[in-house]
Amino acid sequence: QQQVKQSPQSLIVQKGGISIINCAYENTAFDYFPWYQQFPGKGPALLIAIRPDVSEKKEGRFTISFNKSAKQFSLHIMDSQPGDSATYFCAASSLTNTGNQFYFGTGTSLTVIP
Amino acid sequence: DSGVTQTPKHLITATGQRVTLRCSPRSGDLSVYWYQQSLDQGLQFLIQYYNGEERAKGNILERFSAQQFPDLHSELNLSSLELGDSALYFCASTPGQRSDTQYFGPGTRLTVL
């Protein structure tokens, strides 16, 4: 069972446009929601993250919108650039246990056309 | 560069064989996580170690095992390999056992023929 569902699987956006990737989760125990960016041949790298006590977090051109009641969160990339072309993963984690288990979405391949 | 190193970068082996993947966490990080990334299932959490002890377990097969050594490096052992085990294997590290930001290594690509 996929704990975190991500859509779309792929996305093509013109340079300067807005890229939007959506994720949904079921487990209300999750209390940390990061987004990772992965370039070919590299490991994922943390892009931005949010905790459920806020509805939005912005870092530069990247914004996470979080809807706790709907159990959904999304990544918005403003003014998308060709250098943003990568695979993006959402994830969810619970930090309240003795360990720290992360659940990842299946990824979105973003292509930004010049 | 995340500071996490993984060896080898590529590994090609045959079905039924056993392999060992190695991960060295960032300097000072005590937790190591292992993930399997395949095309159809994305990133799957396998297991977490903190300061030598197992802390969390995900969908890790019984044919797979891991350990973390006193110098904090970790090894993932995969045995009785099957074609379906072909994937990218990543490790990540964090300072504590419940830290948030994970730093991923470059991965080991395993091909089982």
* Mean pLDDT (chain A, rounded): 93
Q: What digits encode the pLDDT tens for the residues B12-59?
A: 999 999 999 999 999 999 999 999 998 777 899 999 999 999 988 888
- Cα-Cα-Cα-Cα torsion B76, A46, A57, B56, nearest 10 degrees, comes to 10
Contact B56, B48 (CB under 8 A): yes
C-alpha–C-alpha distance, residues A47 and A34, integer Å? 7
In this prediction, residues A15-34 reach a mean pLDDT of 94
Query: pLDDT value at position B18?
Result: 98
Contact A114, A82 (CB under 8 A): yes
Q: Compute CA distances B106 → A85, B60, B91, B94, whole Å.
A: 18, 20, 8, 15
In this prediction, residues A19-39 reach a mean pLDDT of 94
Q: Which residue of B has its CA nearest to A87?
A: B42
pLDDT at B108 over 90: yes
pLDDT confidence band for B110 (50 / 70 / 90): very high
User: What residues of chain A lie within 8 A of the CB of B31, using their CB?
Assistant: 100
Closest partner residue to B105 (CB to CB) among A41, A43, A101 is: A43
Strands, sheet with B64-68, edge to edge from the N-terminal-most edge strand:
B5-7, B19-24, B74-78, B64-68
Give the closest-approach CA distance of B81 to chain A in angstroms. 23
User: What residues of chain A lie within 8 A of the CB of B56, using their CB?
Assistant: 97-101
For chains A and B, what is the number of CB pairs under 8 angstroms?
70
Q: Compute CA distances A49 → A15, A25, A37, A90, B64, whole Å.
A: 24, 15, 12, 9, 31
User: What residues of chain B lie within 8 A of the CB of A44, using their CB?
Assistant: 43, 90, 104
User: What residues of chain A lie within 8 A of the CB of B97, using their CB?
Assistant: 98-100
With vertex at residue A84, the alpha carbon angle to CA B4 and CA A51, rounded to the nearest 5 degrees, is 65
Q: Which of residues 7-26 of B touch A (CB under 8 A)?
A: none
Binding-site residues on chain A for chain B (CB distance < 8 A): 32, 34, 36, 41-46, 49, 89, 91, 93, 95, 97-107
pLDDT confidence band for A95 (50 / 70 / 90): confident
Q: For residue B84, what is the DSSP state?
A: G
A44 vs B99: CB contact, 8 Å cut-off?
no
Instruction: Write the DSSP assignment of A22-35 as a string of letters.
Output: EEEE--TT--BEEE
pLDDT at A20 over 80: yes
User: What residues of chain B lie within 8 A of the CB of A46, using their CB?
Assistant: 101-103
C-alpha–C-alpha distance, residues A65 and A63, integer Å? 6
- Tokens, residue B104: 């991923």
- Tokens, residue B73: 């490096």
Query: pLDDT value at position B39?
Result: 76
Q: What digits encode the pLDDT tens for the residues A30-71?
A: 989 999 999 988 999 999 999 999 999 999 999 999 999 999
Nearest to A49 by CA among A37, A39, A35: A35
